[in-house]
Copies of this chain bind each other. A is one copy, B any other.
Amino acid sequence: MKNIKNMAIKIQSTNYEIEIGSILTSSFYDLITNRYQNRKKIIMVDENTHDCCLEFLITTYDSLSEAEVILIPEGEENKVMEVCLQIWSALSEFNISRRDLVINLGGGIITDMGGVIASLYKRGVNFVNIPTSLLAMVDASVGGKTGVNLDHFKNQLGVFSNPIAVFVDPSFLSTLPLSEVKNGFAEMLKHGLIADKNHWDVLKCMLPSEDIFGEKIISESILIKNQIVLSDEKEKNERKKLNFGHTVGHAIETYFMSSENTIKHGHAVAIGMLAESYLSNYKKLLSDNELKEIETTICQHFEIPDLAQVDSNVLFEIMSNDKKNFDSKIQCTLLKEIGVSLIHQEISFVEVNLSLEYLKSLKH
């Protein structure tokens, strides 16, 4: 393969670039062929990217023909330290040094977990992210958070560690089922709600089917997240805005994780955004009209799960263990209006209960 003139949209993050567009026109070729010439490459894949994306990469780039491929089994239950340990042993057997390169090719589980694996192995091997799901493109691959789950708590273990580059190629989205596209769509809606009414206004008229996700709208969404991250990399203040929908959403996701009816992250965040928009309205921040607008948009795309049997005590306990809390109080991000969010808003057990009742009312 020859290097083609670089045409991708570039977004500068902390100390690396995010390139959006065809990977063929990105700097990926130069990176693996020149900067990492004679270095070993390790490609982390999940079952889906193993079948749908890996062959394209390996046959396109000569310098990947001898890459070691590591398959990480699907599912949140495998996003744990025990699986990382198996992979670290494999890297050690492959004699991978800290000058080699890890390539994370997959959705959020691969980029989160591959980030942990690379960042801890010999105190840090460089890695690049090639997110293949919409969720990983607009969310997981930007911001330097890596993580694995612990005892059913999501992303409890990890480090802040940046990839050396991120390549966002929307053509990989054609491999995804609609439910996976919606998973990322929820985070895009969130970016609009917390920080950019224009982004929200564009998205609310869209249908999250694969063909509408082009470079432009994805870039806009990444740009919003990136700006927030740049202003507060370690999540002391501003970055907490990105947690909108995640306090209730994470709890619902975690709650269902141990049941048969698991809920995808984006779906849970969409439900969480409904609950937290309701609380924003309940606390006299968000207007009735805007709550209605959010409700209509989200319910158009996301089904409310059956919450009749959900024990709100358990949900509250999960929230209490959230990384974002301190002083044992539950802290969440609420909306002042569409496009404007407020961090450090306390919510009580009674309010959690009210938001659950609200969600149940939407179901009927």
Report A's interface with B, CB cutoff 8 A: 38, 81-82, 84-85, 88-89, 92, 95, 97-99, 119-124, 145, 147, 150-151, 153, 155-161, 320-321, 323, 325-328
Q: Is the CB of A81 within 8 A of B92?
A: no
Q: Which of B92, B158, B159, B325 contacts A97 (CB 8 A)?
A: B325
Q: Which residues of B contact A89 (CB under 8 A)?
A: 150-151
Can you give 21 A-B contacts (C-beta < 8 A)? A81-B84, A85-B150, A88-B150, A88-B156, A88-B157, A89-B151, A92-B150, A92-B153, A92-B321, A95-B328, A97-B326, A98-B326, A119-B159, A120-B120, A120-B158, A122-B323, A123-B145, A123-B158, A123-B159, A123-B323, A159-B159
A321-B95 contact, Cβ under 8 Å, with A81-B85, A89-B151, A327-B38: yes
CA A99 to CA B88, docked complex, whole Å: 30
Nearest CB in chain B to that of A323: its residue:
B122
Q: Which residues of B contact A98 (CB under 8 A)?
A: 323, 326
Q: Which of B38, B85, B156, B327 contacts A122 (CB 8 A)?
A: B156
Q: Which residues of B contact A321 (CB under 8 A)?
A: 92, 95
Q: Which residues of B contact A159 (CB under 8 A)?
A: 119-120, 123-124, 159, 161
Q: Which residues of B contact A119 (CB under 8 A)?
A: 159
CA A120 to CA B159, docked complex, whole Å: 6
Given A92-B150, A92-B151, A121-B157, 18 more contacts at CB 8 Å? Answer: A81-B84, A81-B85, A82-B85, A85-B150, A89-B150, A92-B321, A95-B320, A95-B321, A97-B323, A97-B325, A98-B323, A98-B326, A99-B326, A122-B156, A122-B157, A123-B158, A123-B160, A123-B323
**A7 nearest CB across to chain B (Å):** 34
Nearest CB in chain B to that of A88: its residue:
B150
Q: Which residues of B contact A147 (CB under 8 A)?
A: 123
**A221 nearest CB across to chain B (Å):** 23
Q: Which residues of B contact A84 (CB under 8 A)?
A: 81
Q: Can you list the 10 inter-chain pairs with the closest CB atoms, starting with the nearest?
A: A122-B323, A99-B326, A120-B157, A123-B158, A97-B326, A88-B150, A81-B85, A89-B151, A159-B159, A97-B325
Q: Which residues of B contact A97 (CB under 8 A)?
A: 323, 325-326
Q: Which residues of B contact A124 (CB under 8 A)?
A: 159-160
Q: Is the CB of B323 within 8 A of A156?
A: no
**A228 nearest CB across to chain B (Å):** 17
CA A83 to CA B182, docked complex, whole Å: 39
Nearest CB in chain B to that of A327: its residue:
B38
CA A150 to CA B120, docked complex, whole Å: 11
Q: Give the residue among A89, A120, A151 with the most B Cβ atoms within 10 A.
A: A120
Nearest CB in chain B to that of A320: its residue:
B95
Q: Which residues of B contact A122 (CB under 8 A)?
A: 156-157, 323
**A212 nearest CB across to chain B (Å):** 34
**A83 nearest CB across to chain B (Å):** 11
CA A327 to CA B156, docked complex, whole Å: 35
Nearest CB in chain B to that of A325: its residue:
B97
Q: Which residues of B contact A327 (CB under 8 A)?
A: 38
**A340 nearest CB across to chain B (Å):** 26
Q: Which residues of B contact A82 (CB under 8 A)?
A: 85
